[in-house]
């Protein structure tokens, strides 16, 4: 009887051990955001500044979400663009041509998932390509990304002065959001 109980206990433990990796491998993608997060997370894990990259990419993605809702755009697509926007910096550790390289990396990543339409991929690539150009007004997703990209570092520490180069944009953004806050 004692042996039978021990056998059953061991069997249960073995089955539990066997089940863990199988479940992890076969768990289906929850959605397109999760599919992109998996790729972004693996790039961040291999980067030299995990904290900075996680905080910035996830922060920009979340601010992009709220701005997209405010402006009647797709919050899901805006979030994904935010997650991917500095992927070249994360991979190469430099901002050199990170907009151009990031646009093509994002395109490749999105195509690789087979979860996006051609139009969505083009929108994302264009937004990433233009995100550092604050002198020209581009498409609606491009402008969401530009705004979220300056909002994240500012909101990360409001005790620091806003970057003078982007202060005007930040002021306009607070006004659009109906927030009375003196950024100077
Ligand atoms: Fe950025």
In angstroms, what is the span from residue 57 Cα to ligand 1's centroid?
7
Asked if the model's pLDDT at residue 150 lies above 50, the reply is: yes
In angstroms, what is the span from residue 78 Cα to ligand 1's centroid?
14
pLDDT band (50, 70, 90) for residue 183: confident
Residue 9's pLDDT is what? 41
pLDDT band (50, 70, 90) for residue 10: very low
In angstroms, what is the span from residue 19 Cα to ligand 1's centroid?
40
pLDDT mean across residues, the chain: 87
Asked if the model's pLDDT at residue 25 lies above 90, the reply is: no
Give the residue carrying structure tokens 């405010």.
70
In angstroms, what is the span from residue 7 Cα to ligand 1's centroid?
56
Residue 55's pLDDT is what? 98
pLDDT band (50, 70, 90) for residue 30: low
In angstroms, what is the span from residue 151 Cα to ligand 1's centroid?
10
In angstroms, what is the span from residue 157 Cα to ligand 1's centroid?
16
Residue 14's pLDDT is what? 35
Asked if the model's pLDDT at residue 156 lies above 90, the reply is: yes
Asked if the model's pLDDT at residue 110 lies above 90, the reply is: yes
- 157 against 13, higher pLDDT: 157
In angstroms, what is the span from residue 56 Cα to ligand 1's centroid?
7
pTM summary value: 0.83
Residue 98's pLDDT is what? 97
Q: Where are the domains of the chain?
A: 29-176
Architecture of domain 29-176 in CATH?
Orthogonal Bundle (1.10)
- Quote the percentage of the chain above a pLDDT of 70: 84
In angstroms, what is the span from residue 115 Cα to ligand 1's centroid?
24
Residue 184's pLDDT is what? 76
């Amino acid at each position: 009887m004692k042996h039978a109980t021990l056998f059953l206990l061991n069997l249960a433990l073995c089955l539990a051990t066997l089940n863990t990796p199988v479940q992890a491998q076969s768990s289906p993608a929850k959605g397109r955001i999760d599919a992109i997060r998996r790729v972004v997370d693996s790039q961040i894990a291999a980067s030299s500044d995990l904290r900075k990259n996680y905080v910035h990419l996830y922060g920009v993605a979340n601010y992009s979400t709220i701005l997209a809702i405010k402006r009647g755009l797709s919050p899901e697509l805006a979030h994904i663009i935010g997650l991917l926007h500095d992927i070249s910096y994360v991979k190469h550790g430099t901002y050199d041509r990170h907009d151009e390289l990031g646009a093509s990396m994002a395109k490749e990543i999105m195509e690789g998932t087979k979860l996006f339409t051609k139009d969505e991929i083009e929108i994302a690539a264009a937004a990433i390509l233009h995100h550092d150009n604050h002198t020209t007004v581009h498409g609606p997703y491009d402008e969401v990304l530009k705004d979220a990209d300056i909002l994240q570092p500012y909101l990360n520490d409001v005790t620091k002065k806003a970057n003078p180069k982007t202060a005007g944009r930040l002021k306009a953004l607070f006004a659009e959001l109906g927030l009375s806050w003196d950024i100077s």
